[in-house]
Structure 1
């Protein structure tokens, strides 16, 4: 395939990403989320008293009922909804992961759930000057029309779920998200729960002493009719927008049905789609496995493909795609499948593998009794992973780690071992849970050889991803340890503890310090029947351990095979 010499490589593309509409959608979503947070916080004050709710409402109105707050709130609401319709229209297929579908459906249903509440509070205040306080609103929703109160409760939950899903999609790529995920999930649950409890508490308080909070304010019949027409008009407006978007999709599909594009995948898989479909959408329609960690939003590069034929005449990358590809220093023939919409037949090859990233535990079942056993331990760790993570997008770093963990897990299991745990970019594996100490030592050595060969294959497969090949540091040690089910609840798993585990960890750290691939203890060498007399030998003092460990230094693991 010949490339256009006038087309610059993406490596030279500036990394500055221009202003994009998805930032507008994010900002408007955050504004609406902050409004919900303050609104629900005001509801939660009902746990104290109705008077506390009223005092909180004063601060709430000060924030949101001034001209700037009004424009910011309702402008964000309208822009966010219109951009959701735009995203719905741009989709060439409605096949999507369930989380994306849930967020879309919740967002589209939300206006119909909250219109009557907005009309009965904000718009009524604008027309009549009457500001319904919490006593009036709670009396209406709790005593007079509990069915409307139930609808508002559903609206509260729907709005909060929609916002939480949006924030999840935004934050899950952040490196710190996993550390604070539990705290964020807890807050996401507590906020609506406290708001509902506050509303229930206020409703019961007013029901016990209805006269204490004054009589209900009656709206004039003319104003009531006007509010009813506004309610109906707003509902019709949003319904027309949604139906119009769906009709526009059908019209577009009909017009483009005669203009089809063939996308050719490896193994001669051919997918014919209407003009305007992205490569990722074509993969989803045909059921072809295609990685897209960020959900097809162009926030990662995991869906990228290499164009092997038909590149000429295709639309160039947009700003979002160009910025992502520039950040990973992709070549000129690489495109993001979620953003690339070919205008004529094209042949592509997904760059990242879609093989499984789950690991099958070899030793599961039965109740471990916490027995002492003679086992062999393998520690392995990636060297220079911090700098690797700094050069890649968070999603891509996770993908690389999963490929590495998959490779190590398969090597350990195929050698007869058991993965104890993953620690950062490190792996702890156990051998000898069901075999003799000698067999366990031989299995551990076999696993180390397999891992080294697997790392070579991984470096070859993803050579374009790494500025320099991945390197590994490993240690092998043997001795007695307590093996059993440990942990609490769902976090219980089979593991091993003891001085042998600590010593193996220290040996792995020594391998890193010496910049070698493997440090193997004398215990493993003897049990496995290895002759390492020609290798460098060291006596290693272990912190917290009285006796040092005799160990062999192996610069390259492949030397063991010889």
Structure 2
């Protein structure tokens, strides 16, 4: 029985959740802290009032335990993850996240000492007037260092949130607002700091500090005599706290790398070989994951979630050595069950073989370093509820028999423009043209109900514009243009597929096949539009006057009820 089995709270999934939750607690603290700084743009008094609410939230026993407990848990889990990494070869985005995270304690310890700890041990005020005067006037280099720390802390938190949320269905809609917030908040905080700093620099020390400080020289001498001993003791404690924090962090980091070095020396004599389909062989110490071996050997290997077992993009088929593999743990089993993986398929990021094995990565990445971040071509794929629209010209071969090649190209381009503008004008995405047919996707963003309504609206626009084109070209066409449209909704795999420059966001799956079949049914029934029952009901359309029937779809056990809409009725969806 493993430690994970005995203590479920120590499972990889639980530890990842603890790291996420602790990080979110610290990000909430930083967000409120920056918002408080931004109040300086209103006035110093407004910022000071905001500080009272801020300190009341975080400087009570519960708030302090939550904040400092989160800091401790997060740092310990980061140290653990650094130790568990068998190689420091990693994608740039992962390296940047780690580097920024390690810089944060070095940048903010001085600030924590100067505010919270000095306030507790020396009784010095950490009011805005005092702190900003210290950073803006007395020690501007410290102010610059804290400004850099602010940006680093915020970037680290925002990157973490982005990688946590980036494949949530709603994230694409919220991303512009979140990005605006992520840029504005630190900018406003820095502007508030600078604004108050300039004001304080133009005022005498006494007036800016306020009535909380003794005004007369005799009072200052009396206070100094009374508290000089306590002040010396307090300063020693502050200095000790400073050395403890710096030393503790540095010692922890050095301990991690010392343990890694010791492990590496010990494992040099205990290596296994991992073989790849192109003949590459990577020798790694026993205990490395297959993904770490790929990275160490410079072999391209997808790992969209960063090697945390949240996705299946790094999966491999084990060709040799499967019998000696350690069993999959909870995280890996959940992902493999979700994709109905075949026997012998494992997640490369979770599989740590104990003997020589041969593997084949099942998703082979292309070189995408030159592609812009967030582009559709870098989308690794996910299952999503979408609506598929197929459109095709009926009797196109007969229509073009008497046409010149130039006329055919002209006609097709006019038709493609109609379809493209109708789809995009209705909030869809034109996927591809196939001969004289077209495929469009709806619901990549937005609700399924809205996607169904938009697809039907696009179909109505296509039918209407084809009629207008027929009127325009009535003297040139041997017969009027007529289209057949099929619309169906359901789950599909959406991702970037293709090769080289011919790589685009598209969809595959049973939903796509059914939509294509409905377009064929529209031709067979001599109708303009055939829509599946789930789609038209989800759109909220009135079906009382529409003709319906059940059809058999090849590959599906149950018949599918569809609604048959002739040309004169398509306008109801416009």
Shorter-chain TM range is 0.5 to 0.7
- In structure 2, the partner of 1:336 is 347
Q: Distance in 2 between matches of 1:118 and 1:259?
A: 45
CA distance in 2: counterparts of 1:307 and 1:53, whole angstroms = 60
Residue equivalent to 2:420: none
Q: What's the CA shift string for 1:267-315, capped at 9, x where partnerless?
A: 3322111112111111112221211111111111110111121012322
Distance (Å, rounded) in 1 between the aligned partners of 2:235 and 2:388: 64
2:255 pairs with one of 233, 240, 244: 244
Shift of 1:194: 0.8
- Aligned residue for 2:72? 78
The structure, 1 or 2, with the larger RCO (C-alpha pairs under 8 Å, 6+ apart) is 1
Instruction: Give the direction of change, closer, same or farther, for the CA distance of 1:516–1:337 in structure 2 (3 Å limit).
Output: closer
**Matching of residue 213 in structure 1 with residue 208 in structure 2:** yes
Contact 1:305–1:336 (8 Å) recurs in 2: yes
Q: Distance in 2 between matches of 1:540 and 1:326?
A: 38
| Aligned residue number for residue 132 of structure 1 | 126
Q: Is contact 2:39–2:46 with CA below 8 Å preserved after alignment?
A: yes
Q: 3-state DSSP class of the match of 1:399? A: coil
Shift of 1:504: 7.3
Alignment of 1:249-268 (within 5 A): 249-268=260-279
**Is the CA contact 1:25–1:79 (under 8 Å) kept in the aligned structure 2?**
yes
1:538, CA displacement in angstroms? 4.8
Distance of aligned partners of 1:436 and 1:74 in 2 relative to their CA distance in 1, 3 Å threshold: same
Aligned-partner Cα distance in 1 for 2:245–2:314: 40
How big is each residue's C-alpha offset from its partner over 1:419-457, in whole Å with a ceiling of 9 and x where there is no partner? xxxx9877999xxxxx83425779999xxxxxxxxxxxx
| 8 Å Cα contact 1:474/1:517 also seen in 2 | no
Partner of residue 147 from structure 1, selected from 141, 162, 166: 141
Name the counterpart of 2:51: 57
Aligned counterpart for 1:512 among listed residues 484, 487, 491 = 487
Alignment of 1:309-348 (within 5 A): 309-348=320-359
Report if aligned partners of 2:119, 2:125 keep a CA contact under 8 Å in 1: yes
Instruction: Determine whether 1:45 maps to 2:39.
Output: yes
Asked whether 1:297 is paired with 2:292, we answer no
Give the C-alpha shift of residue 95 in structure 1.
Answer: 1.3
| Paired residues of 1:38 and 1:60 also in contact (CA < 8 A) | yes
Partner of residue 63, structure 2: 69
Residue deviations 1:349-370, cap 9 Å, x none? 112233478999xxxxxxxxxx
Query: What residue number does 1:399 align with?
Result: 380
Q: 1:60, 1:27 → 2: CA distance?
A: 20
Q: Secondary structure at the match of 1:343?
A: coil
CA displacement at 1:175 relative to structure 2: 1.2
CA 1:248/1:501 → structure 2, altered by over 3 Å: closer, same or farther? farther
Cα distance in structure 1, aligned partners of 2:28 and 2:259: 33
Q: CA deviation at 1:225?
A: 3.1
Q: Deviations over 1:223-266 (max 9, x none)?
A: 22331232122111111111111111111111101111111111
Q: Alignment partner for residue 36 of structure 1, among 30, 38, 46? A: 30
Q: What secondary structure does 1:312 align onto?
A: helix
Closer, same or farther: CA 38–283 of 1 in aligned 2, 3 Å? same
Deviations 1:22-66 (A, max 9, x none): 000000000000000011111011001111111001100110000
Q: Distance in 1 between matches of 2:18 and 2:147?
A: 29
Identify the residue that residue 308 of structure 1 maps to in structure 2: 319
Distance in 1 between residues matched to 2:433 and 2:406, nearest whole Å: 26
For residue 300 of structure 1, give the secondary structure of its aligned residue in structure 2: coil
Q: Aligned to 2:244, which of 233, 253, 271?
A: 233
Q: 2:335, 2:466 → 1: CA distance?
A: 41
Contact 2:30 2:154 (8 Å CA) reproduced:
yes
Residues in 1 aligned to 2:483 and 2:47: alpha-carbon distance in whole angstroms: 59
CA contact (8 A) 1:32 1:73 kept: yes
CA contact 1:106–1:159 (8 Å) conserved in 2:
yes
Change (3 A) 1:136 1:424: farther
Q: Which stretch shows the higher mean deviation, 268-277 or 323-332?
A: 323-332
TM-aligned CA distance change 1:136 to 1:168, over 3 Å: same
Contact 1:263 1:346 in 2 (8 A): yes
Match of 1:546 in 2: none
- Which segment drifts farther, 304-313 or 98-107? 304-313
Alignment deviations for residues 200-236 of structure 1 (CA, whole Å, 9 cap, x no partner) = 1111121222332237799934322331232122111
When residues 505 and 240 of structure 1 are mapped into structure 2, their CA distance, relative to the original with a 3 A threshold, is farther
Alpha-carbon distance in 2 for matches of 1:245, 1:508: 67
2:316 aligned counterpart, secondary structure: strand
Contact 2:391 2:519 in 1 (8 A): no
The corresponding residue for 2:568 is none
Query: Please, which runs of 5 or more residues in structure 2 have no aligned partner?
Result: 1-10, 215-223, 393-404, 416-431, 439-460, 469-481, 489-513, 531-552, 555-574
RMSD: 4.3
Structure 1: runs of 5+ lacking an equivalent: 1-16, 361-394, 405-422, 430-434, 446-471, 479-498, 521-531, 542-554, 557-562
Q: Deviations over 1:305-329 (max 9, x none)?
A: 1112101232211222122222222
Q: Structure 1-normalised TM-score?
A: 0.66
Q: Matched residues in 2 for 1:237 and 1:279: separation? A: 34
Q: Does 2:177 align with 1:183? A: yes
Correspondence 1:268-279 to 2 at 5 A: 268-279=279-290
